[in-house]
Structure formats: structure tokens, C-alpha cells
Structure 1
């Protein structure tokens, strides 16, 4: 049975790929911009929301990148960072997310005079505040930070050291972000080798825009635990008319090793991975039993949420609650928190949550004939 919108909203969800500077509330953008005299392209919340989404879907890389210039531009003070992080946790919890790993690049938030340490401390304070507010509202959530280095810059080792320094205070891992083409992950080998020596976790944006070489380097040279997007792994497989797929060596390796794919359907449409959700490789990768996870990437720019992504996938591929539980357990298996904590979330939160939804559905089905 197709899940209802209420069931999708209530279902426990786990999010591994979400950017802090891509998920602000439009109302917050307006208020923070007014505080510092920052000029925005629209003057009211709905117009601003539409501007972000329209720009992201414009097909123009310049307009897409401009959207982040506006959000980063007003996230340059301790107060702004803490507020944005707190609201992020609250918004995700309100959408049924029970665990999230949220990415941000500390080096992008120092223009107002903060140093890297102060940026991390401000964001972590915000996440803890948001967690407490969400718990008080009856929607508990845990948020871990992924500190990202910009792949076109040269501060990755510094950011990696920050990850290790703050890994007992909410930071769960490392990432590199930014344009793939021309900036291969091997430029940052020093950072990845440091993280490996320190037994730290990291994911790498790879296979979103550049393709198989990016995925191969991220895994075989850099040792990534997960692939940020990784959707272009389908370039290494051939699908016959009857649906039978033949995997190349790299695709087979990714599936055999259970490398998690942080798939972001709506965002991938924006960046050209597919022309529509129905044509998105998610359906093929799930059918072939890759370790697929569902993610939002940039909630503001894509006009999306985890519930919206689940609904889109339901419409395109006919997924049900059991499929959603599988994707959610996949994500928790792949999370960067300790195994016992992942297991507790699976057994004490995710599985009981889906069991309750299925029980309610069965009860409603039994009662329906006499109603």
C-alpha cells in the first residue's frame, strides 16, 4: 500500500547529507540580513524562497552558486551560526528525522572575524540548543557535524585536525565539498592520511558531477568511508532491455564492499544527474541492492525535506514503508557514531516507529469494511 503523507511525515528518518548553509529558513535569512545590512534579491519570505529554488533550477551554475553566497554571507557571527544550527535541528526533527549528520565548511564563516575554533563552537552550541528544543517538543533528534574543507582551497589539513579535536563534542566526521572537476580528492591526501591515522571517519563528495574517476580516487586513493552522492556509479554498468545489469569492476566493488551512497534525488536533478525523479538512478541502484540512502543536500535551494524526498521516490518507484525502513537502516548502519549507538537507534527508535505505522495501517484495514 502506498504510504500516506501523514505516514511519510511520521516515519523515523535518518539523514547523512545535508548542508547547513543550504537549509536556512527564508525568514531567518531576511532577519539576519537586516541585522548586518546585507542586500538580498527579494524582500519577503515567500519571494525569497522562490528565488532560491528558481535559481537552483535555472541551469546556470553561476546562479546556483550565487544562492550560497547569500546564505554564507549572513552566517558570519557567532549568534547567526548558533541560530541557524538550532533551527536546522528543530526543522529536521519536525520532519521526523531522528538522527542527522549536517555538513558545513568552517573556513567559509571567518569573514566576520571568527576563527575556525569559534565557528565550530558556535555551530555545536546551536545544534545542542536545537536538540533540547526538539526534545521539549516531543520530537527528539541527535545531530552530528561533518566539518567540510573546500576542495579548491588549501585548508583541508587544518579542518581535519579540527575534526579530531572536536570529535567528542559533536563533530562526527570530515568531508570535502566544492566543484569536482579540476579539483580531485587526491589534492587533499595529507588530510585523509591524517584522519586515517587518527581513526576518524570521512566521506567525500564524489560522483555527483565528474563521474567515475572521482569515485575511484575517493575510494582507492583516499579511503573514503562513504560517497557523497556517488550517483554516477551507474556509468560503470550496462543495463539490458530486460533490466538485467552488468556491473563494471568499480561498480561491483562499491556494491560488494557495501559503500554507502548519499543519494540526493532532487539535488541530483538540479545538477543534471537525471532529467526527472522517475529517471533517477536511485531506482536502479536500490533494485541492485547497493547501499542507498535518501538525503536532502540543500533543503532551501531544492525546496525539499526528507518527507518530500520520500514522497517523490514513492511516486516514482512505488516504495512502501518497508522500503523506507530499509533506506533508514542503511543510513544508520553507515552513520559515523559508535556501533552501539547506531544499533540502539535502529532497535529502539527506527524499527518500533515503523512497526507502529504498520500496526496502525493493519488496524485501519481491519476496521475499513464495517465503516
Structure 2
């Protein structure tokens, strides 16, 4: 029997791929825009939420990314960043998430004079405030930030150095933005910085571009996780006898356990598949890939992690055991020190699935 949304919400969950600037509350966007003097396409929270969803629901990654013009515009001060980060934690905890990584690009938040260091500290403060507020309610949530270099820009190495310099509050690094035409090989200096510092990093790949992008992410950038990664199925063929054959790249990703940060609803909006039933995540799980499920952008996809998992349960007949495997996989690959992961596992995740 399919698990209900409420039953899934009650389970402890791990969110690895969630953009800070893609998860604002519509009311928060309105209030921050009023303070900043930024014009929005709608003037009440419900209509604004509808606009973000409909604008993102175009089938184009480029159009999808345009919605961020408004959220980034209202996140240009330390107070705004701190508020958005705090609410990120509260909203994740309300959905039953016990560990969440918030990724964002500091270089996009400097228009009003913040330095990258000040911006990172503001987000760190907001995440800590959210954790403390949740703890005061007797619940557990751990939140960390991933800093992102924009792949169409030239600051990726600088942001990598920022991640290393602030590794006490920054758990990892990412490159994001328009993937097609901006391959990981443009940012090898950044990945060299990270490798030399023994840092942690993930790479957006296999969303708007295919196997070439994934190959570079894995073999040139040394990705420890793949953001989305779902187009790895282009290296999987169906034989006449109905069996699946993995090409060399797909086999390497599966066999070495490089985790995929899959975001189903977001992928539907950017054209990966037409329906959730056609989404590659079901096949990837069946083939034994290290699959994790996240939201990508909760505002633009009007979703939560519980909703993403509920959609997949209905489409692929996932049961409680499969959901537990997904959360254990995500926690195992979280950019969190091993002792902290072990504590979450023993104190929160396993007891939560045991009922």
C-alpha cells in the first residue's frame, strides 16, 4: 500500500540538493522586495507563488533559471541572507528533514556591498539560528551550506578558495547555472584548489547536458557527488532480451558508488521527462545506482522533499524499506563529518524508520 504524504512527512529525511535562493517563502520574497525596492511580477503571496511555479514550468532550464532574478535580487544584504537561511532550516524541519545542505552562489549576492566573506557569515548565522529554534522545540535538524561557483562566470576558483577558507561553516562546493556550453573543464583550477585542500564538492552535471558533461564531471572534476546526473541513463541500453546494458561511464558511476542528487519535479520542469512515471529515477534505483532524492528548488517546483518522495512512491511502488535506503544513502554521502553522521543515524534516522 502506498505511503501517504503525512506518513512520509513524519519520517526523518536527508536533503542534499536544495538551492537557498530557490526555496524562499513567497511572503518573504514580497517583504524583502518591498524593503529593497524591487519590482515583482505579482503583489500577493499566493499569486507570486503561482508565478514562480508557472514561469519555471516551461520545459527549459534557461527559462527556469530566469526565475532566480527575483529571489537573488532580494537577497543582497546580511539581514536578508540571514532571514532566508533561518527560514530554510525551519521549513526543512517542518517537513521532517533532519539534515539539509543549502547551496547558493555568494558571487550573486554582492550588489549592495557585501563581501563574499560577509555573505557566507550571514548565511552561517541564519542556519545556526534556525537550528537553535528547532532545537528549542525539542526537535533535531542539522543544516550546512555549500557555496557555488557560477559556471558561466570566471570566479569559480575564487569561490573554491572561499569554501576552503570557511570550511568551519561551509561543508562543500558546487558549480551551477546553465550547464550546456559551460562544461566542468572550464573550472579545473577550482577543482584543483579543492583537491589540494582535501575539501568536498559536488558538480551539477547530466541535467541540461549529457554524457560529455557527466564524463568531465567524473573524470576531470573528480565529482564526489553528481547534481542531478539523471542523463547517465543515456549510457544504458535495452537489449533484445529485455535486459539493460550499462556503458562504461554508467558502469563506472554505479560501480564506484558516486551518488546522484536526483530532483524529480525540477527535472520535469526542465524537460528531462514528461511525467513522473517516465522519469529515470525508477530505473536508476532498479539498476543499483547510489540514488538520493531532493527538491532542487522548493519555490519554483512548489514542492517539499516529502512530496517528491510521495510522487516516486506512487509512480514506482517504493515502500518504506526503499525510502529508508534512500535516506541512508543520502546521509552516507552527506558533506558532514563521520561522527556527526553516525550520531544522526543512531539517534534520529534509524529510530525514525523503526517507528
What's the TM-score once normalised by structure 2's chain length?
Answer: 0.98
Give deviations 1:144-192, integer Å, cap 9, x for gaps: 1100000111111111111111111x21000000111111111111110
CA distance in 2, matches of 1:61, 1:333: 29
CA distance in 2, matches of 1:281, 1:342: 28
Distance 1:79-1:350 versus aligned 2 partners, 3 A rule: same
Equivalent position of 1:57 in the other structure? 57
| Secondary structure, aligned partner of 2:231 | helix
> 12-21 vs 331-340, which deviates more?
331-340
Runs of 4+ in 1 over 2 A off after TM superposition: 58-66, 239-243
Equivalent position of 1:316 in the other structure? 315
Q: Is the 8 A contact 1:96 1:139 kept in 2?
A: no
Equivalent position of 1:222 in the other structure? 221
CA distance in 2, matches of 1:109, 1:282: 33
Q: Is the 8 A contact 2:9 2:95 kept in 1?
A: yes
| Secondary structure, aligned partner of 1:118 | helix
Equivalent position of 2:99 in the other structure? 99
Q: Is the 8 A contact 1:27 1:45 kept in 2?
A: yes
Distance 1:243-1:138 versus aligned 2 partners, 3 A rule: farther
Unaligned ranges ≥5, structure 1 = 357-371
Deviation at 1:243, TM superposition (A): 4.5
Matches within 5 A, 1:105-120: 105-120=105-120
Deviation at 1:318, TM superposition (A): 1.1
CA distance in 2, matches of 1:179, 1:62: 7
Higher radius of gyration, 1 or 2: 1
Give deviations 1:25-64, integer Å, cap 9, x for gaps: 0000000011121110000000000000000002355542
CA distance in 2, matches of 1:83, 1:294: 26
Q: Is the 8 A contact 2:72 2:108 kept in 1?
A: yes
CA distance in 2, matches of 1:61, 1:245: 29
| Secondary structure, aligned partner of 2:146 | strand
Give deviations 1:282-341, integer Å, cap 9, x for gaps: 000001110000100000000000011011001101111111110000001111111222
Q: Is the 8 A contact 1:262 1:292 kept in 2?
A: yes
Matches within 5 A, 1:271-282: 271-282=270-281
What's the TM-score once normalised by structure 1's chain length?
Answer: 0.94
Report 1 or 2 for greater relative contact order, CA contacts < 8 Å, sequence distance ≥ 6: 2
Equivalent position of 1:352 in the other structure? 351
| Secondary structure, aligned partner of 1:15 | strand
Give deviations 1:64-89, integer Å, cap 9, x for gaps: 23310000001001110000000000
Give deviations 1:78-108, integer Å, cap 9, x for gaps: 1100000000000001100000111000000
CA distance in 1, matches of 2:63, 2:198: 39
Equivalent position of 1:369 in the other structure? none
> 139-148 vs 69-78, which deviates more?
139-148
Equivalent position of 2:125 in the other structure? 125
Equivalent position of 1:203 in the other structure? 202
| Number of residue pairs matched by the alignment | 355
